[in-house]
Amino acid sequence: MSSQIKNEATSNALLLLITRLHFYVGLFVGPFIFIAALTGTLYILSPQIEHAVYKEALTTQSRGDYQPLANQIAAARSHLNSDLTLFAVRPAPEVGDNTRVMFLDPTARLTGARALFIDPVTLDLKGNLPVYGTSGVLPIRTTIDFFHRQLLLGEVGRYYSELAASWLWIAALGGLFLWYKGGKKNRAEVAAKTEHLRKRRRHYQLGLWIFVGLIFVSVTGLTWSKWAGSNIGSLRASIGWVTPSVDLSLSPQQPTQQQDEHANHAHHSSSQMAAPDAANHHADLLFDGVLKAAREAGIDANKIEIKPDRTGNKAWFVREIDRSWPTQVDSVAVDTNTMTVTSRADFETFPLVAKLIRWGIDAHMGVLFGIPNQILLTLFGLSTCLMIIWGYKMWWIRRPNAGSTSKPLLQAWHKLTGIQKIITFGVALALGLSMPVMGVSLIVFLLIDAWRWKKAA
């Protein structure tokens, strides 16, 4: 009998420990998770917003044969007010779309890059906008993205999103455990019809519906974080979970004919300006040949990007950028001396882990399956916000009695068995080292808890 009482006390201590940790995460990290979920939902809907706002820049009514890429690039250069470095070109993917000619531009807020949208038929300038990221998002979408990731506060703002992502999966697992341990009791007590119990039931049920999504967005979100993301990247490299990439290097006997475009930033007299202009013109003429070589090598997606070499001794990089389904992200390296492919990385040959990582990131961004992916993530984001609101309502209802009914986290840990203490401490230490933002915030939780325990003593 005494053994049974001891086991029950230990079980209750563990339950109380997880209950208090779940409460602290909800109380202190909940607002950050709420902001991340809300801004993430807005980002998921941003492609339609972006297309509506920038329709004139993105599309054209012109129909006819496309001009060579060299002519389109020359047309873009003619509209520059300063000499900028060309870093990528995205040919018009479909009839009715414009070509993006992208330049490095330190004056472009948040992005450091600018795209000139050129009508591929008439060579008219259709738009001149900052762009950002692999998907080439435009200002409205970029602002939403940066608000989601860093609250527009720069690098220091990234701690908010990492804090949310680090604790979200812990909160989800803790909620699942609490439901499992107390679900039947809660359902029986609902008969009392108290407002607190009704909200707790809704909170649990909604959490169960979106449990998998909570784990998914937390894990994939951590890959973008500063500290945990760096550790994840190092772990992937150490065990070989890296995404294959093309080799842009050329043999020493075959340097590329392209000139160094960094020379464009130097100041020259008017008699010296012909050299960089000639170099630009020569490099621009290579785009059509590179595109032809890439197409012949199997780069068949409508959405592609061509990146010229700016060092003078590497191959050009051509990649597919269509991340919808089926995923088209093949890439090749093209030697501009011979217009032959020297290296390639095909998605079909990627290891399974690399494919899963690619699909996971694209699903997180809402692009993998297009509209269905957007609808699912929108419902998930709004459900997460609602679940947090219900959680706060639960806390507010019981707030007057919190001091007399709740026990400190450290007090619950103190009642665990020796082996349980070692295990929980080891897990906390390992997670804190691998996810430093979580580790620091956990220390803050414990300091608050220690102060609260001391005050209650």
| Average confidence (pLDDT) over 368-386 | 95
Bond before 400 cis per omega within 30 degrees = no
Count Cβ atoms below 10 Å from residue 310 Cβ, excluding itself. 18
Which pLDDT score, from 0 to 100, does residue 105 have? 92
Cα 384 from Cα 30, distance rounded (Å): 10
What is the residue type of 409?
L
| Average confidence (pLDDT) over 361-367 | 94
pLDDT at 109 over 50: yes
- Angstrom CA distances, 319 to 89, 295, 412, 454, stand at 11, 11, 55, 60
pLDDT at 206 over 50: yes
Digit-coded pLDDT (tens) for 20-50? 899 999 999 999 999 999 999 999 999 999 9
C-alpha 49: how far from chain center:
19
HEC string of 285-334 equals HHHHHHHHHHHHCCCCCCCEEEECCCCCCECEEEEECECCCCCECCEEEE
Cα 367 from Cα 322, distance rounded (Å): 9
| Average confidence (pLDDT) over 69-97 | 94
Through-space distance between the first and last CA atoms of the chain, rounded to whole angstroms: 31
Q: What is the number of alpha carbons within 13 Å of residue 27 lying toward its C-beta? A: 14
Cα 427 from Cα 173, distance rounded (Å): 14
Domain ranges of the chain: 2-27+155-238+372-456, 55-137, 244-265+276-349
pLDDT at 10 over 70: no
Q: 332 near 343, Cβ under 8 Å? A: yes
Cα 102 from Cα 135, distance rounded (Å): 13
What size, in residues, is the chain? 457
Phi and psi torsions of 314, nearest 5°: -130, 165
Whole-number average pLDDT of the chain: 86
* Greatest Cα-to-Cα distance within the chain, rounded to the nearest angstrom: 99
What confidence category does residue 268 fall into, taking pLDDT thresholds of 50, 70 and 90?
very low
Tokens of 300: 């068949």
Which pLDDT score, from 0 to 100, does residue 414 have? 87
Q: Is the dihedral of CA 383, 387, 393, 396 positive or negative?
A: negative
C-alpha 287: how far from chain center:
31
The residue among 259, 313, 308 whose CA lies nearest residue 288 is: 308
Cα 456 from Cα 406, distance rounded (Å): 11
pLDDT at 312 over 90: no
Q: 79 near 68, Cβ under 8 Å? A: no
This prediction has a pTM of 0.85
Q: How many helices (H) and strands (E) does the chain have?
A: 16, 8
The residue among 152, 134, 132, 153 whose CA lies nearest residue 142 is: 132
Phi and psi torsions of 111, nearest 5°: -105, -40
Cα 221 from Cα 226, distance rounded (Å): 11
